[in-house]
Amino acid sequence: MLYTVSPREMKRIETRFMAETKTESLTLMERAAAHVADATMPFLWHGAKLLVLCGAGNNGGDGLAAARLLLSRVETLHCVIWQLAGKQSFETAEQTKRLKEFRERLDTILIDGEVPPVPEDCACAIDALFGTGLSRALEGAALTIVVELNAADIPVIAVDIPSGLDGGSGYPPEGGIAVQADVTVTFHRPKDGLYLGDGPDLCGEVIVGDIGISPGYGDAKGFAVMEKEDVRRPPRRRNTHKGDYGRVLALTGSYAMAGAAGISALAALRTGAGMVTVACPKEIVPAVLVVSPCATCLPLDGGDEWTMLAPALEKADALIAGCGLGQSRAVSRLMERLIHYLCSRSLPAVLDADALNTLAMYKDDFKAQGLRFPEHVVLTPHLGEASRLLDWPTERVKRRQAQAARELHAVYGGSIILKSATSVLVAGGKEAINRFGTPAMAKAGSGDTLAGILGALLAGQKEYGGIRLLQTACALHGLAGEAAAEKYGEHAVLATDVCNYIR
């Protein structure tokens, strides 16, 4: 399990570590540079030319130190350094001095206005312009350098974070751009922004380098980030039956969206639910069973649907509500009653799609009545649904995804999965990021699949709960999507394909 850290907290940790252990900042810089050099080596060849882009701060010092290490390792390497004008930090000035022994294989260009073109014969570039302390959009020569670098057809290794990317949000500051890196070498712990927003697109492969800060200095909270080896589920005992693995009730589907009901039911069964019953309009029962023939159905005939639903709720181990329900008056009345029911009962539930749209319509009443979901009720909004639940512009939710997830939890309680390319999870006072998945999953039905996976885990998973359950659900979903994309390609994957790759 990885744990991220915010740029501010990382600065605090470094400062405390150096003060208490008497470790010099140059020592940490040398350790960081060694990891950057290691990541750069595979891109070099005999007689290669390396471009190193350096700012005046300590990020630039990391780049200079990495250049020196590489020049010492590769006797035929030639290095071109673009140094941004400005007063260098003490550490960066010291690294400039240490480079002088390699002056015969070194060209240093001070950039104070006009920017030369990127040399055509470069093997790769090291981006050490700015670190996580940058909070404004790139401008002037730095902006020109990044534009030229992104246009050049060479691999880029970013030091700590691609220059121009906000280490907290995962987006460049408003109106700005950032370096497009192939590899990002970060230190001690990955920064939040490497996994949020545009971070995964801009960072490439993320390598976390150990710079000698001991675990005792890891008191910053951060987001938990699962790695593949963390995604484990216990084997089943032979002497078991379907009732041991949970009864899922799914209040899903409508005439126009029968597929959503079938997909969520199929995903729940593929994840391991013992039984799934779909409560849906009677006219779509045949369509639901075509998609998920191993589910059963509770036909709702448009009468007193709560009277029909209530006995099934009492028997269920978990509920899925909202996938493809629509937003009719009848649905709104039924969901309003269900929301009150879930706030006062111990039934685990997943509220998705139109359940959340109904909640958004009634949010003022929800708050006025002091209602709050217990932790075992999971809300799974995408950015647009979160916008309606919070009365925030969608762009604000997008750029402040972590803050939005925390606010959803503060207002509504329960557990939160704020869905996006990288989802933010909040449950039981803990927070996590899911980084599994693929652009192939940017397609209708993906949310229904996740709802089904969650429903099955809530109904039958007795080994863990809370944030770990949410992480496992998102990881199963993302890894299944990745497997489906390997078979069908990024453009052709369907939600049903993802269901069939849940393992």
pLDDT tens digits, one per residue of 59-75: 999 999 999 999 999 99
| pLDDT at residue 218 in the model | 74
Which residue in 57, 2, 68 sits closest to 25, CA to CA?
57
Summarised one tens digit per residue, pLDDT across range 447-465 is 999 999 999 999 987 666 7
Q: Is 46 exposed, middle or buried (0-12, 13-18, 19+ CB in 10 A)?
A: exposed
Give the percent of the chain with pLDDT over 70: 99
For the cut 90, the answer to whether the pLDDT of residue 25 exceeds it is yes
373 touches 412 (CB < 8 A):
yes
Task: Give residue-wise pLDDT tens across range 216-260.
Answer: 887 788 999 999 999 988 888 999 999 999 999 999 999 999 999
CB–CB of 283/256 below 8 Å?
no
Query: What mean pLDDT is reported for the chain?
Result: 95
Are 101 and 74 in contact, with CB atoms under 8 Å apart? no
Strands (E), 22-171: 49-54, 78-84, 106-111, 122-128, 156-159
Res 216: pLDDT: 81
List pLDDT tens digits, range 370-418. Answer: 999 999 999 999 999 999 999 999 999 999 999 999 999 999 999 999 9
Look at residue 462 in the predicted model and tell me its pLDDT. Answer: 66
Out of 205-209, 217-221, 322-326, 366-370, which region has the weakest mean confidence (pLDDT)?
217-221
Q: Name the residue type at position 72.
A: S
Chain position carrying tokens 């974070």: 161
**Both structure tokens of 415:** 């557990």
Q: What is the pLDDT of residue 464?
A: 65
Set out the domains of the chain in order of their start, with CATH numbers: 2-222 (3.40.50.10260), 241-500 (3.40.1190.20)
Q: Is 175's pLDDT higher than 90?
A: no
Cβ neighbours for 307, distance < 8 A, ≥ 6 positions apart: none
Do 316 and 243 meet the contact criterion of CB atoms below 8 Å apart? Answer: no
What pLDDT, on the 0 to 100 scale, is given for residue 414? 97
Q: What's the rounded Cα separation, in Å, for the pair 356 and 349?
A: 12
